[in-house]
Amino acid sequence: MKKLLILFFVIVFIAVKAQTNQSEINEQVWKPFTKAIMAQDVERFISVHSKDVVRAERNSKRVLNYEQYKNEMFASWPKWKARNATANVKYTFELRFLERINNETQAFEVGYFKNETIKAAGEKEIYYGKFQVALRKENGIWKILVDSDSNQEGVITEKDFLAAKPLE
């Protein structure tokens, strides 16, 4: 009975710790990441990535390092932001998760994202994709270490997206 009780407490401790890590990841990575994308805030967006990041753009078959990724974001996002403002386009971004695994210093997460633009005339464009991300804790802060996504040739649907778990 004593062994069973100890095992129970160990399982509860591990579950609570995993939840704490997940809450930290949400606050330190996903909430700033989402806000940065919706505001087209390059500085905030880049800040959640490790300087060792590997960015795999699976649709275009490219792999970028931190400097390449950062330079591309700084070159393209201000133009994107200006176009949206000029055309009065509203933009939203949302994440949902299929799998979230973590320990004290590393995490792996898989899920879907949804990009939605609403043009001034009310016309909506929705784009779904799937992401796979590895994170690590660097100096006490979670950072994206590997960032990979794909639209999977357009097969991801609203039903798939809604079936995944939202960011809490």
List, for residues 3-56, the tens digit of each pLDDT value: 544 444 434 444 444 468 999 999 999 999 999 999 999 999 999 999 999 999
Task: Count Cβ atoms below 10 Å from residue 12 Cβ, excluding itself.
Answer: 10
* pLDDT tens figures, 111-157: 999 999 988 888 999 999 999 999 999 999 999 999 999 988 889 99
The reported pLDDT for the residue numbered 44 is 96
In angstroms, the CA 70 to CA 53 distance is: 10
Q: Is 40 left (phi over 0), alpha (psi -120 to 50) or beta?
A: left
> Domain containing 122 — which CATH number?
3.10.450.50
And the tokens for 91? 């933009």
**Overall domain count for the chain:** 1
Lowest model confidence (mean pLDDT) among 42-46, 57-61, 83-87, 129-133: 83-87
Query: How far is CA 46 from each of CA 56, 68, 151, rounded to the nearest angstrom?
Result: 15, 11, 22
What is the domain range of residue 93? Answer: 2-166
The reported pLDDT for the residue numbered 82 is 85
